[in-house]
Structure 1
Amino acid sequence: MLVTAAVVVPVSAAAAHPEIPAPAPARLTAVSPAMLDEAYAANRANAAEAARMAADHGDHGRASAVRSMAAPGRHFLSFDARGSGRAVEIFGDLAKAERVAVLVPGSDTNLDTYERFRAGADALHKRLGIRGAVVAWLGYETPGTISPEVLTTGRAKDAAPELRGFIRELEALNPHARVSLLCHSYGTVVCAEAAESAFQAAGSVRSAVASRAASGEGDLGISDIALFGSPGTGADSVAGLHTDARVWAGRGADDWIADVPHAKADLFGTTVGFGTDPVSTDFGARVFAAGDGGHSDYLKPGSVSLDNLARIVLGETSEVTHA
């Protein structure tokens, strides 16, 4: 009942992104390790042009946000300033890292709010050290926190193929790295959809098992999935994700997401809500301690949650503290 009621709350507070002029993304061939610097340079140039166009349009907030992305030393594997924007930023040496963490953000993450997402990626990279690289993957249009879309899997289903494709790109760039997905808030729904759709793409359960054994297909090909600040994933349990990865879940003591009803309901043919709480025993994830932080504090420097997420990425699973 609470989930259904939430969908009919007026959403006038949800801000629509204005149509700000922006260039088409830089044209790049398939990126190889030798071409990373070229890709980074092309995307910085694209960001500089996007900042100029936004300023000419009179949107100085967007211009300022995007201008910082054109600064020397910023490493974007892809960049698109059109609409709410897409960006994939790299921290560390992606081609040589032993461990790679892909951060998947939740609602209200876009080019205008990107710095808070970037700050978490930077903090994680500093905690990982030279062995690790971090990818801030803003590769989909996130829903607004106050919007009907945030209550359904629609945006996540659209994002899942993009995330799966990006993970395949990572495998080509660095086939020796162990990759972890770190998924926050609505991003946990995206990660769950990516895992489930990878399984479905392999066909039936029997053919998926056979294809995994033969070529590694039918699974995302990652070592760990960490879900934090999650409203639910849409799956009833870890088994419902159909992944060979270790699945972790954590929630800060002061995270308001704990008050979100963990239920699903059918409303006019659409499933609203995401079901089982990922930190519950019923879901079956490995629950890690996330400290006393709130919904936006999981990657805060010095936090319990950041330390545990870094240990998961580094494969130091015996050192992860549990809730």
Structure 2
Amino acid sequence: MTLDIVVAFFVLGAVGRLLKADLVFPAGLHQSLTVFLMLAIGLKGGEALAQHGSAELLLQGVGVVLMGVVLTLLAFPLLRWFGEFSRLDAASIAAHYGSVSVGTYAVAVAFLETRGIEYEAYFPLFVALLEVPAIVVGILLAKGSAESFRWRPVLAEISRSQGLFLMVGGLLVGALAADQVGAIGPLFKDLFKGVLALFLLDMGVLAASRFADLKTHGAFVVAFGVAVPLLGAALGGVLGGVMQLSAGGVVMLAVLGASSSYIAVPAAMRSALPDANHGLAITASLGVTFPFNVMIGIPLYCAFILWFMS
């Protein structure tokens, strides 16, 4: 099977970092690429939301939120019992894995569209819904209860999250002005894969820079960073079947279940749990899970689900 072209850019960035090539993105470019992808995904979902909004979609959204909660609750004891992490570190990492990676989702979108596999276009709504529940559950796991905890700073951090704001904002703009989104389609639709390729080139550099951090807890972090995505993909696939999604939709929900956050959750966890070792969470999410999903996981989930549903 040939390597997907956008994934090839991720490999290029990682190899460049490992070979110590002078591969440095201009200041602010990563931020610009992230803003573009968030808005593009949100707008596309908003268009679909305007066409498919229904009570059934609301129920599906509840199911997706519950999936994020369950994944966080499953990851926490694995980290505590087998990884022997502190309560704070285990809660922080678990929250990352109960949330979602927009970058991984964007790669899955490109992967399915390249192969002509259709899926429900309102999935950006699910991406936005998965950002918050894991953060709340992670904080409760770390503190043991909600009593005497200062929620206001954390809620403020979540509300200021660039990714969440742009995703939800794009959804609203796309839904309220669905008939006009085509006017900006040449920018947000036609250039999507090109921008994603640049984003993955930078992400390859960032992911490879985390490999050195695997010296501490390395074997467990690698095992956890691969096993939990497989568990999440299975849970997402089963939920997608229960929700009677299309084959492409089941693949997308499996990808969401398998992904882990490296943007929204780290910011919220730094505010809520300042004493946790946040480097561990980023190393697992960005150094192990993201490369695994992009290079192996997404093709694997897709092949298995399409075979099973056929």
TM-score higher than 0.5: no
**TM-score of the aligned structures, taking structure 1 as reference length:** 0.25
Q: Name whichever structure is richer in strand by fraction.
A: 1
Determine which structure has more spread, i.e. the larger CA radius of gyration: 1
Which structure is higher in RCO with an 8 Å CA cutoff and minimum separation 6?
2
**TM-score of the aligned structures, taking structure 2 as reference length:** 0.26
